[in-house]
């Protein structure tokens, strides 16, 4: 796997990323795909084994279910093997914090 340095952070990020828009398959994202926890875990494990260390998600993917599935799939054993990029600009509710990041791990 090829890696690049992320800005001035010193972090090495794989040039390939696992996108998780299909995780959960709820709401409008059901039309894109419906990967349940078992399938997501299998995909994450395959990607980590191949050297991919960046997972892309967003608070709107299946109304946050994608982020929850990532957290469950990683559990405590593999969470230190990856970086998670979660976009949080899209509003997911009417509350004052419904446009903010969620902590998943």
**Catalytic residue set:** 61
What letters, b where the CB count within 10 A reaches 16 and e where it falls short, cover 39-58?
ebbebbeebbeeebbbbbbb
Dihedrals φ, ψ of 80, to 5°? -85, 0
Residue 55, SS3? strand
């Amino acid at each position: 796997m090829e890696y690049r340095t992320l800005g001035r952070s010193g972090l090495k990020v794989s040039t390939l990323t696992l996108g998780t828009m299909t995780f959960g398959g709820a709401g409008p994202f059901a039309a894109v795909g419906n990967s349940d926890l078992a399938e997501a875990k299998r995909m994450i494990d395959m990607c980590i084994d191949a050297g991919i260390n960046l997972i892309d998600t967003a608070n709107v993917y299946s109304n946050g279910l994608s982020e929850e599935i990532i957290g469950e799939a990683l559990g405590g054993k593999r969470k230190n093997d990856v970086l998670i990029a979660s976009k949080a600009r899209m509003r997911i509710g009417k509350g004052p914090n419904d446009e903010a990041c969620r902590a998943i791990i």
